Amino acid sequence: MSVTDVLEAVRAMSPEERARVRALLEVLPTEPRSPEEQAQRNLYEAGLLVAAEPRRVAARARCSPVPIKGKPLSETVIEERG
């Protein structure tokens, strides 16, 4: 569909439809979105996603090693492979 075809189709619309098209054109992004951003936006608009922002992962507290009994795991692996 060419721009001329689109223009003709818009001219054939009712004033309410033209106002709706105008409003939609005003909110179009000026730069293209990545497929991931567009997918998130679509999910947000469908009500399936609460926020279209990437989640921030909280820093984890460093856990201390847990002492275990027996020989080291590396020795067990070597024995089972060999």
- CA–CA dist 62, 3 (Å, integer): 59
Tell me the pLDDT tens digit for each residue of 15-73.
Answer: 999 999 888 888 877 666 788 888 888 888 888 877 656 556 666 677 888 888 888 88
Q: Which residue has the tokens 């090693």?
A: 65
Helices (H), 1-82: 3-11, 15-26, 35-45, 73-81
What is the pLDDT at residue 80? 92
pTM: 0.35
pLDDT confidence of residue 68? 82
Give the model's pLDDT for residue 32: 66
Query: What is the reported pLDDT for 59?
Result: 65
pLDDT score, position 15:
92
